[in-house]
Structure 1
Amino acid sequence: MKTLYKITLLLGITILVASCHNNKAPNYQYFPNMYESVGYETYSESSAFKNGKEAQLPAKGTINRGFEPFDYENTTAGYELAKANLVSPLDSLDRNSDKGKDLYDIYCISCHGATGNGKGKLVEREKFLGVPSYKDRVISEGSVFFVVTYGLNSMGSHANQLSAHERWLVADYVLKLKSQL
């Protein structure tokens, strides 16, 4: 008889526990927003941004981390000013010709050539035309740094690929190439 009561009690508790469980709405959710997330239509407008703008603008007067301001604007007048006034901040110990050559070989040689004659692989294959030889140009450290920073004509900016220090190393190496032509 005691066994019958125990089996009945155990069966009753099992039915009670099983009846309280709902697979569609579980009792305890660790991250409820992961279980029941809000569905958004792809490419639909979001109320996360003010006045329908795509993104929030940074606060006025702020600059990106690691950004170094360049005082010359991207104009012909800025180029002429940089050519006349801008000098390298590198001292004789910082001027690493091997590092400048390595950077030149990575970023410049394909268009400007190994000697700076404007006959790189892309020019030989006629992908770009009119790349000047350094021998034919009146250039200075400042003008080379300016062109590497902003780009000129069909040459794009390399400011995202090279730090300011590396751009100065490239400018120093370009002037060495010019003196050898």
Structure 2
Amino acid sequence: MNKKYIFGLAFLAISITAILSSCHDKRSRGLEFSPNMYYPLAYNPDQKNKNFADGITAQVPPVGTTPVGYTRFDDFPNTPEGYAASDAMVNPLTVNKQNLAEGQQLYIAMCGPCHGKLGMGNGHIVEIGKYPAPPSYSTGVSSRGGAMKDLSDGKINHTIQYGLNLMGSYASQLSPEERWQVVMYVRELQKAQ
């Protein structure tokens, strides 16, 4: 037999099969690759869910639970009493080059625009006149009373956690470990001045 004849018959058979299989059901998309991408196994948050009594998929977490990767800070609430009690908090991180380097990087990115590179209260935002200068870490006086250099690590951490006056909370931007690294770097700035 001729090779052209064999290839011609094979091509014709494949073509007829493809045409007939594509015309059989107009709503069918044919074979699907990874059907779980189109039809997810998990429930969507706004979808009804028969697994819960109220039928709602997006459930509120149980009272008193802590999400994974989150550290509770409820022992020291955002009140004057909580601020005073935070004085007992001690920085759990050891002072080493890595923690100081990470604290410096976080400080420059998060705190530097207002507090300045050296903590003197002369950051970029203050220089352009948008906001008043925050107190200097070495010579300034805290709006809660007392010299900034005399604040404990816990009080600095509490202020980063909840914010104070024009300074907003950094709880969502900095993890608890990162806040302690910033506190550690602030201490180094105070020693240098």
Q: Give me the TM-score of the superposition, normalised by structure 2.
A: 0.63
User: Which one of 133, 136, 140 corresponds to residue 140 of structure 2?
Assistant: 136
Partner of 2:59: 56
CA RMSD of aligned residues (A): 3.3
Distance across 2 between alignment mates of 1:64 and 1:169:
22
Partner of 1:65: 68
Distance across 1 between alignment mates of 2:48 and 2:103:
46
- Is the 2:95–2:184 Cα contact (8 Å) retained in structure 1? no
1:80 lines up with 2:84 in the alignment: yes
Distance across 1 between alignment mates of 2:80 and 2:133:
19
Residues 110-149 of structure 1 aligned to structure 2 (within 5 Å): 110-134=113-137, 135-137=139-141, 138=147, 139-149=151-161
Q: Give me the TM-score of the superposition, normalised by structure 1.
A: 0.67
- Is the 2:121–2:135 Cα contact (8 Å) retained in structure 1? yes
- Give 1:94 shift: 7.6
User: Which stretches in structure 2 are left out of the alignment for 5+ residues?
Assistant: 1-19, 39-45, 142-146
- Is the 2:107–2:185 Cα contact (8 Å) retained in structure 1? yes
**Structure 1 residues 95 and 144, CA gap change in structure 2 (3 angstroms):** farther
User: Which stretches in structure 1 are left out of the alignment for 5+ residues?
Assistant: 1-16, 35-45
**Structure 1 residues 29 and 61, CA gap change in structure 2 (3 angstroms):** farther
Residues 9-24 of structure 1 aligned to structure 2 (within 5 Å): 23=26
1:97 lines up with 2:109 in the alignment: no
**Structure 1 residues 60 and 130, CA gap change in structure 2 (3 angstroms):** same
Partner of 2:177: 165
Equivalent position SS for 1:136: coil
- Is the 1:140–1:175 Cα contact (8 Å) retained in structure 2? no
**Structure 1 residues 77 and 130, CA gap change in structure 2 (3 angstroms):** farther
Which AA in structure 2 matches 1:114? K
Q: Percent identity?
A: 37
- Is the 1:118–1:133 Cα contact (8 Å) retained in structure 2? yes
* Structure of higher CA gyration radius: 1
